[in-house]
Homo-oligomer: A and B are copies of this chain.
Amino acid sequence: MQKLIRSLVQKNRSKIVLVVLDGLGGLPVNGKTELETAATPNMDSLAQTSACGLHTPVAPGITPGSGPGHLSLFGYDPLEFQIGRGILEALGLGLEIRRTDVAVRCNYATVRNGLIIDRRAGRIPTDQSRKLTERLQKAITRIDDAEITFAPGMEHRFAVIMRFPEDLAKDAAQIPDTDPQLEGKAPLNPQALSQSAERVAKIAGRVIAQVHEILKNEERANFALMRGFSGMPDIPTFEQAYGLNALAIASYPMYRGLATLVGMHAPALEGSVEDEIAFLKDQYDNYDFFFLHVKKVDSYGEDGNFAEKSKRIEEFDALLPRIIALNPDVLAITGDHSTPALVKGHSWHPVPVLLKSPYVLGGLCSSFSERACFRGEFGIFPTIQLMSFMLANALRLKKFGA
């Protein structure tokens, strides 16, 4: 499908804005969902003149992670383009990843006499863990020709990136985890399952040895277990796939990281949704496509906090007129997956979407909600088609055949 799209892409001066309210979709508590409960006069009014529907990020019944959820929104088949856990972890910790990087999720562990006593080093507090990781970074910056970067995480977690002068990343997934998953066993050595992964495995082994040497006198965190060896997926950029010069506006590093995977420009940004929208306005002339990410809707869904999730949706709605004022050719508002407070986590439910452009029927939905969107002109559709709809409505696709 993306190949077909690619063969039909044409450039023009249109602007496309995709707003992702993370985890938007919900389920009723006392009869109404979070979105139905929120007072959203601006989205309701948009929905009346927009194309509406619900989209399924991976497949019916499948609960998507944030990676697959966003890849789908960006038009990439999440089953074809799988993002390694190491890469996701590193992106989540705010690291910039390049095509020649191999990323690994690490745990501090306790090892005595060659055997693992505690796979999580007693879940040492984050501030202690951070100090250890900074110590490692000071001591280890390069092994042979590989640059080594350490990134502190929560509690016993951290990430390591090995940056090679050339692209060894595509075989990184050929190295199994060094965590045997059982205490009382010895940690495994990084083992290359393919010849081309041998150099990566060797460097990883030396990282582990040096970490152990530096931390050997620590009571608990004296060892590093590695999981999720991975390189960047080989994925076409937005420019290659759609001819779009794209900007990601997200205050959480993970989502900027996901956007950089597909070649979006994703400058560091900390601040509120208001700040994000101000940045959109500021950069509006410089890009064709804008991905604006609103995190907190999901966070409160994960906490099971129905009222706060609903309130965050309301807050976005109140700011929406500032986006509408930019008058984008195509404006889509949706989520990357559902996170019903009732479920306290991501869920498999399809996600409501509205798409505003001059080329829609409209008139089918009286408000923006899960239940209203079932009456919309998009019906229920795979999320990866949303990109096609946005491009079509921006008149960026030529006719197929004569």
Contact = CB atoms under 8 A, between A and B. Distances in A.
Interface of A: 1, 4-5, 8, 27-28, 31, 33, 58-68, 78-79, 82-83, 85, 88, 340, 342-343, 345-350, 358-364, 370-371, 374-381, 385, 388-389, 391-392, 397-402
Contact of A62 (B66, B78, B378, B392): B392
Given A59-B4, A65-B402, A397-B63, A374 B374 contact: no
A392 B63 contact: yes
A69 to B, nearest CB: 8
In the A-B complex, the 8 residue pairs with the smallest Cβ-Cβ separation, listed nearest first, are A61-B388, A65-B401, A61-B392, A68-B401, A65-B402, A60-B385, A348-B392, A63-B399
Contact of A27 (B82, B359, B379, B400): B359
11 contacts: A1-B59, A4-B79, A5-B61, A8-B62, A61-B392, A62-B397, A63-B397, A63-B398, A63-B400, A67-B401, A364-B374
A347 B395 CA distance: 10
A365 to B, nearest CB: 11
A391 B62 CA distance: 9
B66 A402 contact: yes
A60 B381 contact: yes
Contacts of A5: 61-62
A370 B361 contact: yes
Nearest to A71: B401
Contacts of A376: 374
B371 A342 contact: no
Contacts of A389: 60-61
A399 B79 contact: no
Given A28-B363, A63-B400, A68-B400, 10 more contacts: A1-B59, A65-B399, A67-B401, A68-B401, A82-B401, A83-B401, A342-B359, A348-B397, A361-B371, A363-B371
A71 to B, nearest CB: 9
Nearest to A374: B377
Contact of A400 (B31, B62, B88, B401): B62
Contacts of A58: 4, 400-401
B31 A61 contact: no
Q: Tell me which of A28, A348, A398 has the highest count of chain B C-beta atoms within 10 A of its own C-beta.
A: A348
Nearest to A82: B401
A179 to B, nearest CB: 17
A388 B342 contact: no
A185 B67 CA distance: 51
Nearest to A60: B385
A26 to B, nearest CB: 9
Nearest to A53: B380
A36 to B, nearest CB: 10
Nearest to A32: B363
